């Protein structure tokens, strides 16, 4: 995974709450068996509306999405993250994210940044006043800035370290292989197994 | 540490006990805990890229014997012996078959007696048990919490992680008690409880929490009803929902193919009885619901928190104080083509969908059939009944439920996820309105431009008879 420190790019205002993963990528695109090439599927239905933000310049090439409350609710589809990433987004800012979406983002190096609702609204106002303005997400200093808006954001040390080092979770877990082996020796005989089939 | 080694005398919640019993490594300095996974359920949509990752890294599946796969999201519910028409759906199913074979994973394919929706198959085989950890690349994995398991949905990267290591690095969840006191009236069901809970706490209200449903109205539910409630925990933003195991749970499990047997059964039950939340244990939050006051419920909007009692009217966004909620309501009413003040029961539907991992088990089908028996489907309304698994379908047919559905004027289909999310040909047409026993009323979820009202099987049945959204109290 790519190492992340500071992300700067055109901010895209998505002034909606409860943007669910069915809107981020409709189910028909989940039939693919590849992990890339989902850019065409991102917000596919909303993009058919000429007024949708990504159909306007300078937003079509934006890289920092600024969304309303409860972004990424619903399905566990990691395809939602792949679609945002493949389109070119590198960070999403919102007052609150759905847990599974946030976890999935972390695995793919898509930064999810939680700031209070007034900060999101202030960034929207900056973008409205100056479309094309860049938003900077600084993981090193845990801060977001856009025009006159400057805000810290919380991220735990472990997640920050993992993102900054670009580390892969499976590799990290396999450091504990002997602990897993040891745990399995105590697993009770009555716990379920799928094989042999009964 | 093994499961029966409690490790502490502090009163603990059910969720904390299951967590503690599965902690392989305790995270230090802000690192997550490493949690062991007892059961990994796999389906065709969220697994292909995970198996690809294993292949690229040259890693095997660590525990094929704790892994089981089924085909559900893409599978047709008609003509299942023919080749799947949509080439991309067919490729995805064929990819799962090839991966299962290559990595030695048990798979129940279309046509197999154990095929069905992954969250119906696990419990019916007796694989879902109290006190275990269950994951699946599907957000509705929360269903399995009905047994007192810790069960949650994961993304594809985590699917690969579990396949490779049988563990997940996780930060502990907070706990929230959802206490439903009193007794449900006739015609009010588990689905109405959970829709009322989500309407109360919102789609983000459970974020970061494991919900534990408790109280007399929960204790009186069957396992099928408890699964309906836990299933939709994710719709309140929670990762998992749980119900403490009790005699109802043990009776459900006893004799199922993968339930413990003989001395193992006794040992398991002894352990399961230690799982309920200790007196004096504290939750991070609590919500109390009056079960006596609940009525049949229905959603009017495009997220599952936008719901009201069926006896109510379409809300007026102008009455909503929060500006974001108001904007969301305005947008939802425009999409749903509804006018504030309209009685919910006057809204006509084009389709009724009876199925999904929320409400497709035998008890759901029995409830639905009990209302429609001897009646006729409202003119102009289409009805599709999709059992959750091939086995549920057979069981229902043995009881004559298929005949009741067909004589009523509905279609009796084969098992799968079907119109819950429309990955197979079962979809709404643009503008069509559907009373659906599924879990999500998102824009376009059941088909592009489709409009979804989430309801219980009893409400779905009454609606199919009357042609407008209806309560079971409205039909004889």
Q: Which two tokens stand for residue A106?
A: 């972390």
Say if residue A112's pLDDT is above 50. yes
CA-nearest residue of chain A to B25? A179
Say if residue B273's pLDDT is above 60. yes
Question: What is the C-alpha to C-alpha distance for residues A64 and A28, in angstroms, rounded to an integer?
Answer: 26
Mean pLDDT of B439-465: 97
State the pLDDT confidence band at B45, using cuts at 50, 70 and 90: very high
Determine the pLDDT at residue B3.
44
**B217 CB near a chain A CB, below 8 Å?**
no
Question: What is the C-alpha to C-alpha distance for residues B284 and B276, in angstroms, rounded to an integer?
Answer: 17
**Tens of pLDDT, residues B302-323:** 999 999 999 999 999 999 998 8
Mean pLDDT of B52-76: 96
Contact B164, B199 (CB under 8 A): no
* Residue listed under structure tokens 């979804």: B452
Note whether B423 contacts A27, CB cutoff 8 Å: yes
Determine the pLDDT at residue B324.
87
State the pLDDT confidence band at B8, using cuts at 50, 70 and 90: low
- Chain A positions touching B48 (Cβ under 8 A) are 33
Lowest mean pLDDT among A167-171, B260-264, B373-377, B464-468: A167-171
Say if residue B5's pLDDT is above 70. no
State the pLDDT confidence band at B2, using cuts at 50, 70 and 90: very low
Mean pLDDT of B269-274: 98
Say if residue B6's pLDDT is above 70. no
- Chain A positions touching B165 (Cβ under 8 A) are 170, 173-174, 177, 180
ipTM: 0.95
**Tens of pLDDT, residues B23-32:** 999 999 889 9
> What is the share, in percent, of chain B residues with pLDDT greater than 90?
96
Determine the pLDDT at residue B185.
98
The residue among B5 and B435 whose pLDDT is bigger is B435
- Chain B positions touching A103 (Cβ under 8 A) are 154-155, 158
| Residues, chain A | 198
State the burial class of residue B387 (Cβ atoms within 10 Å of its Cβ: 0-12, 13-18, 19+).
buried
Mean pLDDT of B390-413: 98
| A106-110, Cβ contacts within 8 angstroms, sequence gap of 24 or more | A106/A159, A106/A162, A106/A163, A107/A1, A107/A78, A107/A81, A107/A169, A107/B155, A107/B157, A107/B158, A108/A1, A108/A78, A108/A81, A108/A82, A108/B157, A109/A1, A109/A2, A109/A4, A109/A85, A109/A163, A109/A166, A110/A81, A110/A84, A110/A85
Residue B38 DSSP one-character state: S
- Chain A positions touching B260 (Cβ under 8 A) are 190
Mean pLDDT of B335-357: 98
Count of CB contacts below 8 A, A vs B?
220
Lowest mean pLDDT among A86-90, A157-161, B351-355, B459-463: A157-161
Q: Give the mean pLDDT of chain A.
A: 96
Mean pLDDT of B220-240: 98
Contact map slice: B 243-282 vs A, CB within 8 A: 257-258, 260, 264-265, 267-268, 271
| A14-17, Cβ contacts within 8 angstroms, sequence gap of 24 or more | A14/A53, A14/A65, A14/A66, A14/A67, A14/A68, A15/A68, A15/A124, A16/A67, A16/A68, A16/B327, A16/B328, A16/B331, A17/A68, A17/A69, A17/A70, A17/B324, A17/B325, A17/B327, A17/B328
Determine the pLDDT at residue A1.
80
Rounded to two decimals, what is the model's pTM?
0.96
Note whether A192 contacts B127, CB cutoff 8 Å: yes
**Tens of pLDDT, residues B154-168:** 999 999 999 999 999
Say if residue B94's pLDDT is above 50. yes
Q: Which two tokens stand for residue A192?
A: 């379920």
DSSP string covering A56-75:
STTGGG--EEEE-SSBTBS-
Question: What is the C-alpha to C-alpha distance for residues B295 and B277, in angstroms, rounded to an integer?
Answer: 29
Contact map slice: B 328-347 vs A, CB within 8 A: 328, 331
CA-nearest residue of chain A to B68? A194
Alpha helices in B373-429, H assignment, sequence order: 390-398, 401-408
- Chain B positions touching A158 (Cβ under 8 A) are 27, 29-32
**B36 CB near a chain A CB, below 8 Å?**
yes
DSSP string covering B46-87:
SSHHHHHHHHHHTPPPS-GGGEEEE--SS--SS-TTSPPSSH
Nearest CA-CA partner of B245 in B353, B147, B327? B147
Note whether A96 contacts B207, CB cutoff 8 Å: yes
């Amino acid at each position: 995974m790519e190492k992340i420190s500071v992300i700067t790019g055109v901010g895209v205002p998505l002034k909606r709450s409860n943007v669910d993963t069915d809107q981020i990528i409709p189910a028909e695109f989940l039939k693919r068996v590849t992990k890339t090439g989902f850019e065409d599927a991102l917000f596919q239905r909303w993009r058919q509306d000429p007024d949708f933000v990504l159909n306007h310049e300078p937003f079509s090439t934006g890289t920092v999405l600024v969304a309303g409350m409860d972004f990424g609710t619903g399905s566990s589809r990691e395809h939602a993250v792949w679609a945002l990433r493949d389109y070119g987004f590198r960070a999403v800012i919102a007052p609150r994210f759905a847990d599974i979406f946030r976890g999935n983002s972390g695995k793919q190096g898509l930064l999810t940044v939680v700031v209070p609702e007034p900060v999101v609204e202030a960034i929207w106002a900056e973008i409205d006043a100056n479309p094309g303005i860049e938003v900077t997400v600084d993981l090193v200093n845990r801060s977001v800035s856009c025009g006159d808006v400057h805000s810290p954001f919380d991220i735990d040390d472990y997640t920050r370290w993992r993102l900054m080092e670009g580390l892969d979770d499976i590799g990290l877990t396999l450091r504990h292989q002997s602990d897993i082996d040891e745990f399995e020796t105590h697993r009770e005989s009555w716990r379920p197994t799928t094989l042999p089939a009964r | 540490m093994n499961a029966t080694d409690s490790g502490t005398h502090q009163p603990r919640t059910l969720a904390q006990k299951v967590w503690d019993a599965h902690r392989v490594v305790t995270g230090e300095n802000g690192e997550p805990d490493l949690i062991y996974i007892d059961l990994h359920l796999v389906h065709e949509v969220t697994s292909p890229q995970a198996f690809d990752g294993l292949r690229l890294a040259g890693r095997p599946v660590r525990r094929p014997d704790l892994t089981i796969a089924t085909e559900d999201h893409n599978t047709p519910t008609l003509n299942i012996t023919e080749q799947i028409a949509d080439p991309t759906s067919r490729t995805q199913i064929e990819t799962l078959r090839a991966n299962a074979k290559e990595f030695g994973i048990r798979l129940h394919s279309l046509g197999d007696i154990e095929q069905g929706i992954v969250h119906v198959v696990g419990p019916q085989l007796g694989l879902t048990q109290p006190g275990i950890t269950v994951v699946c690349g599907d957000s509705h994995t929360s269903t399995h919490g009905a047994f007192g398991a810790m069960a949650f949905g994961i993304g594809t990267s985590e699917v690969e992680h579990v396949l490779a290591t049988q563990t997940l690095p996780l930060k502990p969840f907070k706990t929230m008690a959802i206490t439903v006191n009193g007794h449900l009236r006739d015609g009010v069901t588990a689905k109405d409880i959970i829709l009322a809970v989500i309407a109360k706490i919102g789609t983000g209200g459970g974020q970061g929490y494991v919900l534990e449903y408790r109280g007399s109205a929960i204790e009186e539910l069957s396992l099928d009803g408890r699964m309906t409630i836990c299933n939709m925990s994710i719709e309140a933003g929670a990762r998992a929902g749980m119900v403490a195991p009790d005699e109802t749970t043990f009776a459900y499990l006893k004799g199922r193919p993968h339930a413990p047997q003989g001395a193992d059964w006794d040992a398991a039950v002894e352990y399961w009885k230690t799982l309920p939340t200790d007196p004096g244990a504290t939750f991070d939050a609590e919500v109390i619901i009056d079960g006596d006051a609940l009525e049949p419920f229905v959603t009017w909007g495009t997220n599952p928190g936008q719901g009201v009692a069926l006896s109510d009217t379409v809300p007026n966004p102008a009455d909503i104080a929060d500006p974001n909620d108001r904007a969301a309501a305005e947008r939802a009413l425009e999409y749903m083509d509804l006018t504030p003040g309209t009685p919910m029961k006057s809204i006509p539907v084009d389709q009724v969908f009876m199925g999904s991992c929320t409400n497709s088990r035998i008890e759901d089908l029995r409830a639905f059939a009990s209302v429609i028996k001897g009646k006729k489907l409202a003119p102009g309304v289409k009805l599709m009944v999709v059992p959750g698994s091939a086995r549920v379908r057979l069981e229902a047919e043995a009881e004559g439920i298929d005949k009741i559905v067909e004589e009523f004027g509905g279609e009796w289909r084969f098992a799968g996820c079907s119109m819950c999310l429309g990955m197979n040909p079962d979809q709404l047409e643009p503008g069509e309105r559907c009373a659906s026993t599924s879990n999500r009323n998102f824009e376009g979820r059941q088909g592009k431009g489709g409009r979804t009202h989430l309801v219980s099987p009893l409400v779905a049945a009454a609606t199919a008879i009357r042609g407008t959204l209806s309560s079971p109290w409205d039909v004889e």
